[in-house]
Structure 1
Amino acid sequence: MPEKAISVADLTLHIKAMVEELFPSMWVAGEISDLVRARSGHVYFTLKDESAQIRSVMWRSSAERLNFDLEDGQAVLCFGNLEVYAPRGTYQLVVRKAQPQGLGALQLAFQKLQAKLAAEGLFAAERKRPLPEFPRRLGIVTSPTGAAVRDFLQAAANRFRGVEIVVIPALVQGQGAAKSIVAGIRAAHQITPALDVVIVSRGGGSLEDLWCFNEEPVVRAIAESRLPTVSAVGHEIDVTLADLAADVRALTPTDAATHVLPDGERLLSAYQNLSQRLHRSMRSNLADRQFRIDALSNRPILARPHEFIQQRRRDLDELDARARRAAWSQFQQARSKLSSSAASLSALSPLNVLTRGYSVTLNQDGQAIHDANEVQVGDTIETKLHLGTVESTVVRRSTS
């Protein structure tokens, strides 16, 4: 009957009493996941196995007594008791002691596959390709309704708007997620015009939530991508095999936008700086050209061209007169020198001696006779006088 209904608080108190009485302190084996260390010193985590999980807490006083560090993926034995938290209607294991068992199954699988793929060179640094400096089209393989795509698009819009972003839907958690991500990466290669970069992304989560990004088909699809790849999976502390295989690992989806896109504000500042420098340079060049034009316009040849021509004509006339005077002087000097030379030659000429009563006798060959032995009796000789010549026949000769 409605009048016999009890309150939620009473019901929860009954459950709390029964559970805490039925389950005293006990050892529980499981694998740690979703480990969080609060600033207060308390440690919160999930203890799980293959088929179930339970939220757990270790208060600061107990955590400080541990002689090892709790880590995600670690298999542990925890000693504590169940507690029902009435305000939330939940239960949790309050851990007072813990001891390590080794690595959990997922962590062991992670390390085994990592070693295998590393041996094949899928994570080698020399395989990493640089991202384009100014991409035009990006593809992001992720859940279209998740926080990752919203964070990426918001960061991209704030950083640089001159790029086209194609969202390629994919499951990023649970059964079939790995196959869906591989299909998304392959679809990115079929898009036309071609993409410049492909980003594989999702928000943070536990090792189980992110496990699809550690599966071999996904890791190989990223490593074999013809397009440069960026892995932006989880938060900064999360590291997946997809991160190791990608060309660039981004800590978060927001960080991926920083890696892939140029800084719009920096580019704008650089553009404005270059624009100002260009305008200053143009103004300086124009001022210099104007100064040179003004200087040229003040020159006489441009300011008074007719006067310049008249001056050149006067200079030409003066040069012509100087050339004529120089030529006449050279002519006079040459004529004087010629007269002097002619006088000297005339003084030395034998013909000039004939004017004083002397004569020159020539043989039949026209050569001057210096010795009587040069002619024979009967030879015809010619005597040149100052006026005229005399032809004679030798009848006698004497050498004394």
Structure 2
Amino acid sequence: MKAGRKFGKSQAKQQFPRLSEPLSTSNSSTPTAKPTALSVTQLNNQVKQTLEGQFRNIWVAGEITDIARPHSGHVYLTLKDQKSQVRGVIWRSAAERLRFDLQDGQSVLCQGDVDVYGARGTYQLVIRRVELRGVGDLQHALRQLQQKLQAEGLFDPARKRPLPRFPRRIGLVTSPTSAAVHDFLEVAQRRWPDLNVLIIPTKVQGAEAAGEIVAGIDAAHRIDPPLDVLVVARGGGSVEDLWCFNDERVVRAIAASKIPLVSAIGHEIDVTLSDLASDRRALTPSEAGELVVRSRADLSAELTKLADDLRVRIFQKHANQQAQLEQLSRRPAFTRPFDRITQQALWFDEAEMRFNRGIQQVVTKMRQQLASAAELLDAVGPLKVLARGYSVTQTADSGKLVQSIDQLEVGQSIQTVLADGKVRSTVDAIVGSDDRP
């Protein structure tokens, strides 16, 4: 790998002549020699000639960040290491020959020339060739942290909570002088003028930013009355500017927030680990205002529409009920209400007559059966037997039927029942069947 050459002090003196003497501020009349001065343009031109002449066809190793691809087809980027950075450009003709897509975080070797823009006194690396070395150290560490936190479930969609529909108190964790504050408040106040927004000031860039953001989130949970929703916001910036929102402490604080939290960090293309851990990600602070704060005008229009829909439904319901009522009123039960009663009366009359006929038939049949039974009973009854010359003997005292001579004694009183009366007599003798001649 080729490296750029350094130039020494003697060479610097040749390229950049010094003023021979300092400017005099004395009021003395003694004439002094005027120094030889370079104009800014002369200085920049000499720097341009020196740098462009010394740093040609060099190789520079670094990590890509802040890629921009305008419609011109050129590619603008920044090469950085852990301490420094330099701007670079790949003209369209060279960009079309690249064998892979350039992405933020790639570690690359770039071959090209140093180019000085004299009008501004700035320089950049004009890149003609790019070779991929692998993922940069920062991106590698970021991916490792992302995998670790994802395994712990900090990015799980199931743990994300819905935002309140009508928040009254909103906390905004950001730099109070940032554009994010202006963008968020402008949208929030326009959508709901009476909203209470509490700004929790923190740094959002630099080495101390992560600790302040964590402290700001913690302070938001101690505010009384409590906040309905919390927004962590920052405007756009480079990957380095937004790096504090990839800090593990910040990500864990966002994931542990008891208050529904919206992240609004950077622009649409910027995605940090804080975005993944938040309950809702907004592409910009302005969109955060739209997500968190409902539009009063939209709500009023929605309520008006609901009221209109309700009136239409009530009218339709009334019309349907009226039609059903008219349909019911045309039924025979309402047009001829006594028809049913008359039919039921006729049915009861017929049922009564059928019942009476049935009862009469039963009674007649039973009378016939009873008469037949009486005739049969009379035919076999004791009176008929007596009428044929038979008699019945009973004891005189108890009227017990005498069926055997063993029931009688000599001198006992008995009575004989004949067909036309009774005869009382006394037993003179008892003659058994064995005693008959």
- Normalised to the residue count of structure 2, the TM-score between the two structures is 0.66
Amino acid at match of 1:382: Q
The equivalent position to 1:132 in structure 2, one of 147, 162, 171, is 162
> Which residue number corresponds to residue 197 of structure 2?
166
Please state how far the C-alpha of 1:387 moved relative to its aligned partner.
Answer: 2.7
5 Å-filtered alignment, 1:183-332, equals 183-253=215-285, 256=288, 268=302, 275=310, 280-281=316-317, 283-285=319-321, 287-288=323-324, 291-292=327-328, 295=331, 298=334, 300-301=336-337
The percentage of aligned residue pairs carrying the same residue is 39
Q: 1:52 to 1:300 in 2, by over 3 A?
A: same
Alignment of 1:1-400 (within 5 A): 14-15=42-43, 17-23=45-51, 24-26=53-55, 27=58, 31-48=63-80, 53-66=85-98, 69-73=101-105, 74=107, 76-84=109-117, 86=119, 89=120, 91-98=122-129, 108-109=137-138, 111-112=140-141, 115=144, 118-119=147-148, 124-126=154-156, 129-132=159-162, 134-137=164-167, 138-143=170-175, 146-149=178-181, 164=195, 166-168=197-199, 169-174=201-206, 176-253=208-285, 256=288, 268=302, 275=310, 280-281=316-317, 283-285=319-321, 287-288=323-324, 291-292=327-328, 295=331, 298=334, 300-301=336-337, 333-355=365-387, 357-363=389-395, 366=399, 378-395=411-428, 397=431, 399=436
RMSD: 4.8
Cα offset for 1:44?
0.9
What secondary structure does 1:298 align onto?
helix
Instruction: Identify if the C-alpha distance between structure 1 residues 282 and 260 changes in structure 2 by more than 3 Å, giving closer, same or farther.
Output: farther
Separation (CA, whole Å) in 1 of partners of 2:373 and 2:98: 134
Aligned partner letter, 2:260: P
Moved more, 165-174 or 118-127: 118-127
Residues 32 and 76 in structure 1, CA contact (< 8 A), matched pair in contact too: no
Aligned counterparts of 2:406 and 2:255: Cα–Cα separation in 1: 128
How far apart are 1:280 and its partner, in Å? 4.0
**Distance apart, 1:80 and its partner CA:** 0.8
Per-residue deviation, 1:295: 4.5
- Kept in 2: contact 1:76–1:102 (CA 8 A): yes
Instruction: Verify the 8 A CA contact 1:140 1:201 in the aligned structure 2.
Output: yes
Which residue type is aligned with residue 126 of structure 2?
V
Structure 2 segments unaligned to the other structure (5+ residues) = 1-38
- TM-aligned CA deviation for residue 59 of structure 1: 1.0
Count residues with an aligned counterpart: 381
Q: Deviations over 1:61-107 (max 9, x none)?
A: 23344556544344655531323264xx4533241445569679xx5
Q: In the aligned structure 2, how far is the partner of 1:217 from the partner of 1:249?
A: 18
Kept after mapping to 1: 8 A contact 2:44/2:121: no
Quickly say closer, same or farther: Cα 1:237–1:179, change in 2 above 3 A: same
Ranges in structure 1 where 5+ consecutive residues have no aligned partner: 1-10
Paired with 2:66 and 2:287, the residues of 1 have a C-alpha distance of 22
Question: Secondary structure of 1:351's match?
Answer: helix
Deviation of the 1:327 alpha carbon = 5.6
Relative to 1, partners in 2 of residues 1:174 and 1:385: Cα closer, same or farther, differing over 3 Å?
same
- Name the CA shift for 1:226/1:389 in 2 (closer, same or farther; >3 Å): same
**2 CA distance for matches of 1:369 and 1:173?**
139
